[in-house]
Each structure stands twice: as structure tokens, then as C-alpha cells.
Amino acid sequence: MPKNYRNILVINTFGIGDVLFSTPLVRALKRNIPGATIDFMCNERCQYLMDSNPNINKIIVFEKDQYRNIFKKSKIGFVREVLKFAGRIRSARYDLAVDLSLGYQISLFLKLLGVKKRIGFNYRKRGRFLTDKLDIEGFNEKHAVEYYLDILRLISIRDVSARDIELRLNKEFDRWASGYLSKKELAGKRIIGLAPGGGRSWGKYAKYRRWSPDNFGYVANMIKADNENSFFLIFGSKEEKHLGNVIKAHLGDNSINLCGKLSLPQSISLIKKCELLLCNDGGLLHIAVSQKVKTVSIFGPVDDNVYGPYPSNDMHKVIKAEKVHCRPCYKSFKHTTCQSHDCLKDIDTNKVFKVIEEMLAKK
């Protein structure tokens, strides 16, 4: 049985997918230590994923770039902000920290603040300030969710039967989405979501995980030809607006390019209204999975067995180039840059359409 911890802090400062992958861990903590208060530390954008999570008491926002910018402007200002942040952490009196950051800085910070139990991963010896750790070389053999849940063995938690990722939104966003569709006269339409980007986590290397936006447009046109009642919402960040423009050039008035125009909660609420989301691998895929929306996802360099829809079922189909033997090349949190992109180029649009056609036919 786990110790009766009173105040727990879970840290995951990565992107949308990783934060959602940690929700089964949070649920297991609450189920096995029901009297504990659980807080969650994440970046600013991801706080909206956890705001309404019933297992979390408080969100703590931590943005590394924000502190770096303060340091560049004023070292005294930086010290003040760090001390203010440290005071917030110390006042919470955490007796357990679950650090999913894969670095050493946060666990060192928590050690200095007196958090006695600090558990997490020892990746490339970066777990040296953790009290208990699991040695890993990367997430390579099973799904990331399973790696996160493994950490709980360090505090004798093995009851992790409920493994679905979890994302709840305030009901006001459901109402907003219904109002948006009504305003655009889309009520009664078959709404298909398209997400041609891949999120922010790969930065300038994002192109290595993107199927061509022309392919998205081509498949969407086949869907439209098959069912004239179909309408397409294109999702993504403002940096991905140009991808949405390519697709809209294919679809014209049968689509709206929403890239960069919505808040994250608004995007989630509209994705929830979609009958299906066609997407690359990335955070929007996992948002759709959490909302029980059918997905067809394109996986290139990334291993879907590690970062794909979780848990896998018939609502979620992954399409990948089976005969490209160099994939997946993203291993141990690193990827290989290449010029061919065969793992994406070899994915046939007709195959993607056929899979979508079959899924839309199912009730």
C-alpha cells in the first residue's frame, strides 16, 4: 500500500499529448491516495487541459521561456520572480513530487525547497536529485502512458486499471461550439476535422511529421464527393495557417481555416463536434481521442506504439508506410533528419480515403 501522502505535485512541462498521457497517472494517484491534494505543474497552454480535471486541485503554470526572458532583461527581476515562485511551492508543503520532466533542474529545485519524496525517470543520469527513479533510455518499447504509470510502482501503487486519457471542458465551451456551428449555418452538416500540422513540440523540424496538406485536401475532396453534406473544419496553430490555406484552396466554401483563430478550449469544443478527425500525429489527435471522436492519423517518423491513440480501439486508425524500414526513426526522444520523407510520401491518399469511408459508415 502507498504511504498516506497529503500534498502531491505532478510535473509535466511538455506538450499537449504528453500532458494528456499523464492523466491516467493522476487518476491512479487519487484513487489510491484518496485523501491527498494533487496539484499539477505544466506550461501555460496546457493548463486548459487540466482546469476541469476532477482529480486535480490546482494548476501551477511554469514557462521556462518566460523566466529566460526576464533574466535577459533584469537579473534582479529574475531573482525576484524565482523567489516568488519558490515561495508558492514551499507554502504548499508538498510531501511527494512526481517529476515527469526528464531533466534534473526541477527535481533539484524541489530538493532545495524541502520536498522529501521525489520520484521520476532517470534519463541520461538526469534523475540524480530524485529520491526514487526508474532508469530509461527513452520511450521505445510501449506506450508513453505505460511508462508514466510505471513510475507509480516506486510508491507501491499497482492499481492502474482505468487507463483512458481524460480531458474535461467547462460546459460554457460546449455551448460556444454549438453557437458557432449554428452561426455558420452548419447544424445538420457532417462535420469532418482536418489537422495538417503536428503541434509545436518539434519546432523547426515539424515538417518531418507532416503529411502533405495537398494530400489532406485531395482526401477531403473525395469525402465531399462521397457525401455532399460534408463540411470541413481545419485546425492548427497560427504557425500552421499556411497549411490550412493549401487545404482550403482545394475545398473552397466547404471549409473554414481555423488555424490560429481559436483558443485551445475553443478548438477542443469544436473537435468534439466532429464526426471524425483526419490528422498527423500530435496533440490534436490525442484531444480527439479524449473526446471520443473517431480519428484517422498519419504517422511518419514517430512510433505509434509509443505515441499513438491510447488505448487503441476501432475508433482510431493509424496509417503508416509499412514498407519503409527506416521508420520509426524517432527514438530515445531524438529523431533523424532525412531528405526523402519516404515514411510520409509513401502513404497513399486512396488508402486513407478508404479507411475514412469505412469508419464513417460505422455507427
Tens of pLDDT, residues 76-125:
999 999 999 999 999 999 999 999 999 999 999 999 999 999 999 999 99
- Residues in contact with 211: Cβ distance below 8 Å, sequence separation at least 6, in sequence order: 196, 280, 298, 300, 344, 347
Report pLDDT for 341. Answer: 87
pLDDT score for 5: 97
Q: How many CB atoms lie within 10 A of CB 239?
A: 14
Quote the pLDDT of residue 72. 92
The amino acid that residue 45 corresponds to is: R
Mean pLDDT of 40-68: 95
Both 205 and 340 in one domain: the answer is yes
One domain, residues 126 and 226: no
- Look up the domain containing 131 and give its range: 7-155
Check whether residue 179 and residue 151 sit in a common domain.
Answer: no
Nearest to 222 by CA among 317, 285, 296: 296
Same domain (yes/no): 14, 128: yes
Pair 244, 145 in one domain: no
3-class secondary structure for the chain?
A: CCCCCCEEEEECCCCHHHHHHCHHHHHHHHHHCCCCEEEEEECCCCHHHHCCCCCCCEEEECCHHHHHHHHHHCHHHHHHHHHHHHHHHHHHCCCEEEECCCCCHHHHHHHHCCCCEEEEEEECCCCCCCCEEEEECCCCCCCHHHHHHHHHHHHCCCCCCCCCCCCCCCHHHHHHHHHHHHHCCCCCCEEEEEECCCCCCCHHHHHHHCCCHHHHHHHHHHHHHHCCCEEEEECCCHHHHHHHHHHHHHHHHHEEECCCCCCHHHHHHHHCCCCEEEEECCHHHHHHHHCCCEEEEEECCCCHHHHCCCCCCCCEEEEECCCCCCCCCCECCECCCCCCCHHHHCCCHHHHHHHHHHHHHCC
Paired sense of beta strands 96-99 and 117-123, if any:
parallel
Q: Is residue 2 in some structural domain?
A: no
Work out the widest C-alpha separation in the chain, in whole angstroms. 63
Strand pairing category for 190-195 and 276-280:
parallel
Instruction: For cell 501503487, name the residue.
Output: 157
On whether both 238 and 119 belong to a single domain, the answer is no
Least confident of 16-25, 144-153, 332-341: 332-341
CB 218 within 8 A of CB 245: no
Contact 194, 285 (CB under 8 A): no
- What's the distance, CA 24 to chain centroid? 13
Place of cell 505544466: 42
CB contact at 8 A, 232 and 251: yes
Same domain, 197 and 268: yes
Domain count, the chain: 2
Same domain assignment for residues 272 and 308: yes
Q: Are 18 and 12 in contact (CB under 8 A)?
A: yes
Q: Kindly indicate the confidence band of residue 205, based on its pLDDT and cuts at 50, 70 and 90.
A: confident
Q: Is 161 part of any domain?
A: no
**Which of 155, 190, 207 is where one domain is finished?**
155
- For residue 101, being part of any structural domain is answered with yes
Looking at the domain assignment, is residue 312 inside a domain?
A: yes
Out of 155, 186, 205, a domain closes at: 155
C-alpha span between 150 and 90 (Å, rounded) = 27
Mark whether 40 and 183 lie in a shared domain: no
The answer to whether residue 69 sits within a structural domain is yes
Distance CA 285, CA 270 (A): 13
pTM (2 decimals)? 0.96
Answer with the one of 129, 155, 181 that is the final residue of a domain: 155
pLDDT at 318: 98
Residue 113 inside a domain? The answer is yes
**Residue type at 18?**
D
| pLDDT, tens only, 260-280 | 999 999 999 999 999 999 999
> Residue 210 carries which side chain, given as an amino acid letter?
R
Tell me whether residue 160 is in a domain: no
Q: What CATH number is attached to the domain comprising 95?
A: 3.40.50.2000
**Residue 363 pLDDT more than 80?**
no
Q: Are 169 and 268 in contact (CB under 8 A)?
A: yes
Q: Does residue 194 share a domain with residue 131?
A: no
Answer whether residue 351 shows pLDDT above 80.
Answer: yes
Is the same domain home to 134 and 176? no
Average confidence score pLDDT of the chain: 95
Half-sphere exposure of 353 (CA within 13 A, CB side): 16
Residues 37 and 123 in one domain: yes
- Confidence class of residue 203 from pLDDT cuts 50, 70 and 90? confident
All three cell numbers of 323, joined, read 514498407
**Among the listed residues 303, 284, 175, the one whose alpha carbon sits nearest the alpha carbon of residue 235:** 284
